[in-house]
Every structure is written in C-alpha cells, then in structure tokens.
Amino acid sequence: MEWIKKNDVIGKSILYLILIILSAAYIVPFLWLLSGSLKTTQELFATPPVFIPKKLQWNNYVLALTDFPFLLYLKNTLYIIIVNILGSVISSSLVAYGFSRIEWKGRDAIFLIVLMTMMLPFQVIMIPQFLLFQKFGWIGTFLPLMVPAFFGNAFYIFLLRQFFMGIPFEISQSAKIDGANEFQTFWHIIMPMAKPALTTVVIFTFLFRWNDFIGPLIFLNDNNLYTLSIGVQQIMSANDPRWTILMALGVVMTLPVLILFFLLQKYFIQGITFGALKE
C-alpha cells in the first residue's frame, strides 16, 4: 500500500510540474505585457531586459485612455457585442432545439450540412458578404457585424444541440402532457436547464467580437463607428509606435476577458464538457 501511495504522490507531482510549465507559456507573456505597460520606452528595449521598472509609469494608462476616443470605441464595441450575444443565443438555441428535440424528415442530413459550413474560413465568404451588404446599403453601419448573429452560428448550434440531447426527453413529454406547446417547452423548460451551454455561447461571442479586427476593418468606414480593435491602430505610427502605451492598452483590453472567464468559468466548463460526457 505504501508503494502505491508513493507512486501516486510521484505521479501527481509530475502532473503538477507539467501543468506549471505549460501554464507558464501563457502567464509569462501576460506578465511581460503588464511589466512593459509600466516601463519607459528605454526600459522596454533595454539589454539585458528589465523585468521590474525602476519607477512605475502609471501615466502610460492615462495616455492609453485619453490619447484616442477610448470611451466612444468601447461603447461601439459593447453595443455590437450585446446585440451579437442576443442574436446568437436566440437563433442558435432555436435551431439547436429543432435539431435535437423535434423529429422531422432530413434532420440529420441538414445538420451535417450545417456542420460542414464550419470548415469555411471567413476569408472565403468575405468578398461575397461584402458585395451582399453593399447591395443592401449596410456598408459603413453596424448592421453587417450584427445581423448575421440572428441567423445562427454552426458551432453554437452544435454545442447547444449536444447539450439539449443530454436533457432527458421525459421532461419535455411531461411538459406537453401538462398542455405546453413546443415553444413553451423550449422557452420555459429547456432554456433554463441549458444555462451552462448558453453561458459558453455568451463567452465565445464576447471573445470573438471583442477581438474581431477584420470585420470592423472591412465594414466600418466612419471613425465614430470604430471598435477598440480598430481604434488601437490609431495609437501606432510609422515614426513612433508608442509601444508602452500600446502595452498599457493591451492590459486594459485583456482584463475584461479574464474577469468574464473567472466569473463564469464553472458554467463554461460544464457547457463544454456536458455534451461530450453524454456521448
């Protein structure tokens, strides 16, 4: 028994060591970003590297938030994100419910076609989308960045379908016996039970739109409509990239993502693993 316990301790120690090494690959760049945001330009490019600045340059954060219309771009970004979250949750959950809880002819074949669209990179559909939105007169507005969210997302549909299929069908049948129609069953029974999966959709949508650069770059041509990802470019110039300010802005843009994940990580992990565990 002692031999087994000793091997168990050694095994866990090795596992923790591997996890620490792997986590360092993600933590160290962020710590360098945080350190660089509080340095002078000379310290940032000093040789050998300076890890801890002699004097913390908090003014870098002040300049990062005041040298360009940060609040305006933040408002635009959050507006796009909120609309996308609403559109993605509503449309993808409705489609996923139809693929998982309702029997109809050709359901599995059409679901396979939906999954196949995940293989298409945005670069393939970028030009057709631009021409289509141009015909609609949407270029230079937020519409190209928001309307597609109300037509479902293949990955979200797959994720929610897997979660819905893990919910016992007896629950839906009981609701229908009590007089609930299909939509009432979906809205009042299934949706409240799918909070982990819906939270995962919210997190992924937030991350995608928060970091999205190519979409706003293509569809927005008014400075007053720019998002943060586009606005950051205004700090850069050919002669003076202002790296310390950019690093300060990088910290500011990273913090909301970290806070969101830590607040919702329990639901996020449940939403990702639930469908896989049921298979």
Tens digit of each residue's pLDDT (9 = 90 or more) over 122-180? 888 889 999 999 999 999 999 999 999 999 999 999 999 999 998 888 888 888 888 88
- pLDDT category, 276, cuts 50, 70, 90? very low
Highest mean pLDDT of the ranges 22-36, 49-63, 139-153, 223-237: 139-153
Question: Per residue in 51-67, pLDDT tens?
Answer: 888 888 898 898 888 87
Segment 97-117, tens digit of pLDDT: 999 988 889 999 999 999 999
Q: How confident is the model at residue 15 (pLDDT cuts 50, 70, 90)?
A: confident
74-81: which pairs have CB atoms within 8 A and are 24 or more residues apart? Answer: 74/228, 76/142, 76/225, 76/226, 76/227, 77/209, 77/210, 77/227, 77/228, 77/229, 79/142, 80/142, 80/145, 80/146, 80/209, 80/227, 81/205, 81/206, 81/209, 81/210
Boundaries of every domain in the chain: 2-57, 68-241
Dist CA 227 CA 69 (whole Å):
10
Q: What tens digit of pLDDT does each residue of 190-220 get?
A: 999 888 889 889 999 999 999 999 999 999 9
CA distance 48 to 31: 17
Residue 132 tokens read as 């289509």
For the domain 68-241, what is the CATH code?
A: 1.10.3720.10
Q: What is the reported pLDDT for 161?
A: 93
pLDDT at 271 over 70: no
pTM score: 0.85
Residue 275: pLDDT above 60?
Answer: no
Mean pLDDT over 264-271 rounds to: 71
With beta carbons less than 8 A apart as the criterion, state whether 68 and 235 touch.
Answer: yes
- Count the neighbouring beta carbons within 10 Å of the beta carbon of residue 35: 19
